[in-house]
Amino acid sequence: MIEYKVIFHIDELNKWKLLLSNVSNLLKASDNNKYSVEVLANAEAVKYYAATQNLEADINLMEQLREKGVKFVACNNALTANNLLQKDLIHFVDIVPAGVAELIIKQSEGYAYIKP
């Protein structure tokens, strides 16, 4: 078993379905590897974390992925630009000050980068 790390980047609202499908498929891959997954949302994509805007089914899928260890992260610059506060977001979302800095730092730590 090999351990891999990956950060998925999303900045468009309409890519969430594809992204969640990508992450689900990755965790279902029967290749005996272990994948540490972080999802980093910036720009308009952070609006998806505001629970009231989502379908129940999507929240359920995100919660299932979260239980499998997937980390969901929001860019604080993007939250501010969209008038969103932490209390508006699904409870398990973490916040970083600058999403692009997070993408850079994680890659320097050996994370692969995927932009669906």
75: helix, strand or coil: strand
Query: Could you tell me how far CA 89 lies from the centroid of its own chain?
Result: 13
Nearer to a second copy, 33 or 60 (CB): 33
CB atoms within 10 A of CB 90: 17
Q: Does 33 bind a second copy (CB under 8 A)?
A: yes
Determine contact, residues 41/98, Cβ cutoff 8 Å.
Answer: no
Least distance to a second copy from the beta carbon of 91, Å?
Answer: 25
Q: Does 32 bind a second copy (CB under 8 A)?
A: no
By CB under 8 A, the count of residues binding a second copy is 36
Residue 102: both structure tokens together = 């997070």
- C-alpha closest to that of 107 among 2, 8, 3, 1: 8
Q: Does 101 bind a second copy (CB under 8 A)?
A: yes
Residue 35, amino acid? Y
Nearer to a second copy, 45 or 50 (CB): 45
Q: Does 110 bind a second copy (CB under 8 A)?
A: yes
Q: Write out the residues near a second copy by the rule CB under 8 A.
A: 4, 6, 9, 11, 18, 21-23, 25-26, 28-31, 33, 35, 42-43, 75, 77, 97-101, 103-105, 107-108, 110, 112-116
